[in-house]
Structure 1
Amino acid sequence: MKTYKDALAGKCPFGGDRIGGTEGTPPTLAQWYPERLRVELLARNAPAANPLGDFDYPAAFAKIDLDALKAEIKAFLTSSVEWWPSDYGNYGPQMIRMSWHSAGSYRIADGRGGAGEAMQRFAPIESWWDNGNIDKSRRLLWPIKAKYGASLSWADLIVLTGNCALEIMGLPTHGYAGGREDAWIADDATYWGPEVWDPHHIESFDSMTMRDKRWRGQNGDADYDLEHPLAASHQALIYVNPEGPYGNGDPEASARDIRITFTRMAMNDEETVALIAGGHAFGKSHGMVKPDRIGAPPEMAPLEAAGLGWHNPEGTGNAEFTMTNGIEGSWTQDPTRWDNSYMENLFGHEWEQTRSPAGSLQWTPVDKNAPRTPDAHIPGKTHPLMMMTSDIALKVDPVYREICQRFMSDFDYFTEQFSKAWYKLTHRDMGPRERYIGPEATIAPDLLWQDPIPERDYALIDGGDVAALKQSIRDAGLSISDLAFTALSAAIPYRDSDKRGGANGARLALAPQKDWAVNARTVPVIERLKALKAEFDGQAAGGKRVSLADLIVLGGVVAVEDAAAAAGHTAPVPFTPGRRDTTDELTDADSFEWLRPVVDGFRNYTDEHFEAVTQGRVAPEQLFLDKAALLRLSTPEWAVLTGGLRALGANWDGGKAGVFTDRPETLTNDFFKVVTSTDYVWAKTDEAGHRFTLNDRASGEAKYEATRYDLIFGANNQLRAVTEVYAAADGEARFVRDFVKVWDKLMTADLFGETKAPR
């Protein structure tokens, strides 16, 4: 056994030959088995990581005097400290960048990223090259955060500081809502891209390798597209390389990248131009020192760096020596005032390529008599204006150019559009308006990207109504399987990442969801439930009505209770009324298309385009795990929900795959018993290994059909450990109890505010 004495001699007592190094140390589990299913990711949100326990953050934030807090932030913004001086005596532009980069990691494909949990504080995001020196911005804000403690999350403070910065520089903002709760551990689950990168130097990017891994086709080709679900054009960036794709300096190619990436961030062309032009109205870019002189990012910095990264050894290491993305200069003559000079400069001058002191490609006016911008720290010194390749892209792309000209001709309209786009950028991942907190939360009207649902203007059903409706559903002749499948299909699109999807709103009955192949079974059920709704609404007293959304969920309650009773278990299923129905006009069909599943292991569904979308890089069960994570399920909940759905016969096509029972529509633990049994031999029935039969070991007879989504619960050791609990002789009662809990969790996942039942 190695001892502490060995450690002092340079030998680590816990394995390996060096303390603090990697040479000679054993590989990690991920390195040993890179294709393994990382089931442990479902435990990353364990309560043990949260030092606040059951603290009611929304209630605490609501008590903050927002005006007083904003006044403190604004006073700080116009100050300066010696260890990190403010540019132009104003931290505003620096804080806008912090807020933007916190929110800008959002992507519409899976709702991950965004400002919602302040993940900017942790690896890998905190150490992305594009977030250089943002660690300083958060450290500057620590005194304010410390004063308010648990009542003010980092996530809320980061966004609010960006809003305050815009306001002190003259932009009327579109409002602000609090309610974002901080995460407490690094995100080791989100897939940010396939590349391996050197975090010290941007030059280490290999352009062709990066393109081959992240992009399909060549820039300009008809099939040029970004790997699903990614949004940023390069690893370690928020949007695009400001020097053009892979630093090629091509504005037209940059415009194509911008359009793809901003669309993936849920922004249309006008919002894209508004954000770029509006954001670049402020501050400057920093590129005074060669990248190879800059130290490691925070996650790799030495202990004495106190958690800060990117040490700059030149001069003071900050102020006029600051290095962030390598580009040096400002876009406007007054970088701390909201005006239209960015547009006027972009279109009022011809621009030529040049290099920054750090060697990065940028653009300066051809006309040497063009207006100049003041130095951020040295009084009386000026510099040529600067544009990035991604700025010139707005000038050369015909659609972006037309939008820019519209903004130039109507500054008030530009102001309004930038304000609204900023509001969307910083609130896009918050979900329904019920989660918004604070006196400014209702300044802006409901917007389509918030997935609005009309307020209830009728009396809510009570316990007696619920009992009568349940009986009406039972009398309607709908099967347990169809009722369970329809309720599941309404709820399963929910993703906790950005709080979109779910049963509330009854969007299952609207385009595009009603037209998805995976939802075909729900169409006749929805029509029958609509008839029951019309009947109830026409007869109910006291102005009561039942929403279709509630009725769909109530149908699922009936299915689960009756299936449990058929198995000999009395299992009342909780029901929380209060869901409302929305309309086609209030549904952004294009954005909801991003919720269409490529894989839905819960309904045993694989889209016909699975191979094309994933490009052969991921196994179906990996996406099944990903969906479980987006639903915020634990490992036992994932297993229980899947096994219960198979017992209910809730496959998308009504098929038999995974229905390991001779008692369908009965809530038994047969699925778990079969998948852990040695009585069967598993045999592939297709070359890809997606479908199987379970053959009786003694007779060779094919007894059951299965998919990878079924058999992973017996093949993966972590999942099998859980599955065995429910397969055991004493497991069925536990399974029924746990299934009811996870079913209710799924059906109420998208209820917030007063509608959410206490647990």
Structure 2
Amino acid sequence: MRDTEKASGCPFHTGAATTADPKNDPYAWWPSALNVEILHQHDTKSNPLPGFNYREAVRTLDVEALKADLRKLMTESQPWWPADYGHYGGLFIRMAWHAAGSYRAADGRGGANTGNQRFAPLNSWPDNANLDKARRLLWPIKKKYGNKISWADLIVLAGNVAYESMGLKTYGFAFGREDIWQPEKDVYWGSEQEWLAPSDQRYVDLDNPESLENPLAAVQMGLIYVNPEGVNGQPDPSKTAQHVRITFARMGMNDEETVALTAGGHTVGKAHGNGNPAHLGPAPEGAEIEDQGLGWLNKTTRGVGRDTVTSGLEGAWTPTPTQWDSSYFELLFGYEWELTKSPAGAWQWQPIGIRPEHMPPDPEDPSKRTMPMMTDADMALKVDPIYRPIAERFWRDPEYFSQVFARAWFKLLHRDMGPRTRYIGPEAPQEDLLWQDPVPPGPRDYDVGAVKRAIRASGLTVPELIATAWDSARTFRCSDYRGGANGARIRLEPQRRWEANEPERLEKVLAVLEPIAHHYGASVADVIVLGGNVAIEMAAERAGYAIEVPFAPGRGDATQEWTDVDSFEWLRPLADGFRNYLSPQYHRLPTRQRPEELLIDRAHLLGLTAPEMTVLVGGLRVLGANYKNAPEGVFTDRVGTLSTDFFVHLTDMRYRWAPLADNRYALIDRESGETRFTATRVDLVFGSNSILRAYAEVYAQDDAHEKFVRDFVRAWTKVMNADRYDLRP
């Protein structure tokens, strides 16, 4: 968090991003075509370790030996990249902070959970300048422990151990992050075509920080959170405070956690801007082949140690940059501060009348003293009427500050790991925390067959059961492992009132299923899923196939007390193409994705492949699962029968399609001119997009009926079990 980028006079303001090559990328020729490539991200072809189970391997790791090696590394300064003050702690903390700090609550993407900092664009972001050096410093340790430790775990563990080595009692640490092996093309970082483009491009109104485009959290392209020089590089702590508040809220942090993280992140380490930024070479992705993936190299003058240029800001925040203490607050509140510029030309604040004992040492010569500094975000803690009382309490009570920071730091590092049941290792805390969305274990020894018979006899319809089970499970996000059917939070606030969940229908179904659950000793969560399974079995029978949808009992029922209502609002569906739902809010957005693009996004968050998405949409349509029984896309006269009718009619050239109104189309018989069915863009994309049509044609074939039923059941079960971590090795 220490070295962030500046917008004006920035050494890494590199101009327009590289565009696609039309010779190799069809989307460069037809940019409006639906891009389904993000669904191929779930492919394993790029994985060099097929069949390897990291979660089993990391359980065999000698954690104490690994941490001992990390502590030793902290103070073994390397000539090719010297450690500030003889301690790499500040660099490793910034590496961990920037890996985890890219998380945003709106869609759960970003964060440290995949080791994505190793790949573009993050490895070459302006805000991540020189973190390539931190990862290279860690390479001997990664090499030693091999596949027992992922890069994703090692990157954040290094930051945690760094704090411990500087005197902080951390809250704990959990292993279990698995590496990816290619860039995450599914993450939308913004529409800007140049690094650090003015913030105006991602706000409807820059004076209203809440107008920051969703799902973004950072204020500019290439930053982790806010510009340290001020909004758009113009110092104004009061204005910066408002943007800090929204940015950290988008990262899932409250005001106290925000102050703690800002102050705690700047209690150690330093920023680097003591040199000429013009001497720096390109970022890692643009570096010469002989640089071997290292970027921002200074091949003109000395560019390491005290002469390093990273963010352009220069100096340490405290006189003790390798110790965990409260000196950050002593300087922040103990002095008046004035604007100045670093040697690299960046805006920063310096104290007036600084006393020698409050001056940090030179990073290479401890006998020399240097001027401390603060960023605009630091000064925001001093002037903001909400932040200041929190910071003053931390100043008065250092022990309280340490405790709050330790918990906030733990949350930052683990926010995208999901529930505590996914944590691995001897230092994983046993305490349940609200932001982990805890769910108690559910019963497993009840009579599943009896429950299914009771559901069949309940009088609930196939569409009612299907819609309720789907709505319960569709909140799952593979990005941060939140949501899903486990916990049955669909019966709690805020989900119970979500328009997308059809509250009246939901209340009717719950009024029937909850007594069944209580009578047979099952969880409501299990019975909701079983209801969907029973409906599919009934629909398959009507199609002539006797099947049993796989089911594993054990889901628990969450409580309202352990449900963070505000946090769960991030999971509210803006759209759900699987049920042909578009929120009224969608039509009020100033800029918006097309409905079919929102379908792709939801499918990706559910962990689905393109074929799985295709078979689910076709099946849900004929089962009558549309929002409020809307007719669009229901290309069948046998609603409630698990048939291939959706695909058959979609691909039948006896019909033509014609637009009716916004997002409504008519299927017209070419001979009679009569309207046969109606559809939305989400329906028609399976006939218009060449890739999706290829999948649709598979299921439209005369020999595909049984395959369709079995494929639908497999995809359905995958969604229902997406959050069943107890079923995974």
On whether the aligned pair clears a TM of 0.5, the verdict is yes
Q: Which amino acid aligns with 2:455?
A: I
SS at match of 1:142: helix
Partner of 1:460: 444
Q: Report deviation, 1:313.
A: 2.8
Which one of the candidate residues 386, 393, 403 is aligned to 2:380? 393
Q: Which amino acid aligns with 1:756?
A: L
Which one of the candidate residues 502, 526, 531 is aligned to 2:515? 531
Moved more, 729-738 or 496-505: 729-738
1:233-244 correspondence to structure 2 within 5 Å: 233-244=219-230
1:163-174 correspondence to structure 2 within 5 Å: 163-174=160-171
Partner of 1:7: none
- Alpha-carbon contact 1:571-1:740 (below 8 Å) kept: no
Task: Supply the distance in 2 between the matched residues of 1:128 and 1:641 (Cα, whole angstroms).
Answer: 37
Q: Which amino acid aligns with 2:299?
A: P
- Alpha-carbon contact 1:314-1:321 (below 8 Å) kept: no
Q: What whole-Å deviation, never above 9, does each CA across 1:290-329 have from its counterpart, x for those lacking one?
A: 3332111111111011011111235332111111110000
Q: Report deviation, 1:413.
A: 0.6
Quote the RMSD (CA, aligned, Å): 1.6
Provide the aligned length of Structure 1 versus Structure 2. 709
Task: Supply the distance in 1 between the matched residues of 2:22 and 2:214 (Cα, whole angstroms).
Answer: 34
- Alpha-carbon contact 1:110-1:497 (below 8 Å) kept: yes
Partner of 1:79: 76
SS at match of 1:35: coil
Q: What whole-Å deviation, never above 9, does each CA across 1:490-538 have from its counterpart, x for those lacking one?
A: 10010100000100000010010110011113221011101112222xx
- Alpha-carbon contact 2:316-2:372 (below 8 Å) kept: yes
Task: Supply the distance in 1 between the matched residues of 2:325 and 2:232 (Cα, whole angstroms).
Answer: 31
Cα gap change, 1:300/1:332 in structure 2, threshold over 3 Å: closer, same or farther? same
- Alpha-carbon contact 1:174-1:444 (below 8 Å) kept: no
Moved more, 325-334 or 651-660: 651-660
Q: Which amino acid aligns with 2:715?
A: V
Q: Report deviation, 1:616.
A: 2.7
Partner of 1:14: none
Task: Supply the distance in 1 between the matched residues of 2:191 and 2:29 (Cα, whole angstroms).
Answer: 18
Which one of the candidate residues 572, 580, 585 is aligned to 2:561? 585
| TM-score in terms of structure 1 length | 0.92
Partner of 2:202: 214
Partner of 2:185: 188
Moved more, 310-319 or 281-290: 310-319
1:108-507 correspondence to structure 2 within 5 Å: 108-198=105-195, 205=197, 207=198, 210-211=199-200, 213-219=201-207, 221=208, 224-369=210-355, 371-441=358-428, 443-456=429-442, 460-461=444-445, 465-507=447-489
Which one of the candidate residues 693, 708, 711 is aligned to 2:681? 708
Cα gap change, 1:595/1:25 in structure 2, threshold over 3 Å: closer, same or farther? closer
- Alpha-carbon contact 1:93-1:282 (below 8 Å) kept: yes
| 1:674 to 2:661 alignment | no
Q: Which stretches in structure 1 are left out of the alignment for 5+ residues?
A: 1-20, 537-544
Q: Structure 1 vs Structure 2: percent identity of aligned residues?
A: 52
- Alpha-carbon contact 2:487-2:555 (below 8 Å) kept: yes
Partner of 2:727: 756
Partner of 1:660: 635
Task: Supply the distance in 2 between the matched residues of 1:319 and 1:269 (Cα, whole angstroms).
Answer: 35
SS at match of 2:45: helix
- Alpha-carbon contact 2:273-2:309 (below 8 Å) kept: yes
- Alpha-carbon contact 2:579-2:626 (below 8 Å) kept: yes
Q: Report deviation, 1:40.
A: 2.2
Task: Supply the distance in 2 between the matched residues of 1:757 and 1:114 (Cα, whole angstroms).
Answer: 22
Q: Report deviation, 1:757.
A: 6.0
Task: Supply the distance in 2 between the matched residues of 1:127 and 1:444 (Cα, whole angstroms).
Answer: 37
SS at match of 1:700: coil
Q: Which amino acid aligns with 1:256?
A: Q
Moved more, 65-74 or 576-585: 65-74
Which one of the candidate residues 677, 699, 704 is aligned to 1:731? 704
Cα gap change, 1:46/1:27 in structure 2, threshold over 3 Å: closer, same or farther? closer
Which one of the candidate residues 619, 635, 649 is aligned to 2:624? 649
Partner of 2:3: none
Which one of the candidate residues 564, 572, 588 is aligned to 1:596? 572
Task: Supply the distance in 2 between the matched residues of 1:507 and 1:398 (Cα, whole angstroms).
Answer: 36
SS at match of 1:685: strand
Task: Supply the distance in 2 between the matched residues of 1:26 and 1:155 (Cα, whole angstroms).
Answer: 35
Partner of 2:713: 740
SS at match of 1:260: helix
SS at match of 1:594: helix
Q: Report deviation, 1:26.
A: 4.3
- Alpha-carbon contact 2:20-2:28 (below 8 Å) kept: no
Q: Following TM superposition, where does structure 1 have runs of at least 4 consecutive aligned residues deviating by more than 4 angstroms?
A: 21-27
Q: Which amino acid aligns with 1:685?
A: L
Task: Supply the distance in 1 between the matched residues of 2:311 and 2:538 (Cα, whole angstroms).
Answer: 61
Q: What whole-Å deviation, never above 9, does each CA across 1:727-746 have from its counterpart, x for those lacking one?
A: 01111111111001001100
Q: Report deviation, 1:24.
A: 10
SS at match of 1:569: coil
Task: Supply the distance in 2 between the matched residues of 1:510 and 1:658 (Cα, whole angstroms).
Answer: 30
Q: Which amino acid aligns with 2:475?
A: P
Q: Which stretches in structure 2 are left out of the alignment for 5+ residues?
A: 1-17
Q: Which amino acid aligns with 2:90?
A: P
Partner of 1:17: none
Q: Report deviation, 1:340.
A: 0.4
SS at match of 1:682: strand
Q: Report deviation, 1:289.
A: 2.4
SS at match of 1:524: helix
- Alpha-carbon contact 1:518-1:652 (below 8 Å) kept: yes
| TM-score in terms of structure 2 length | 0.95
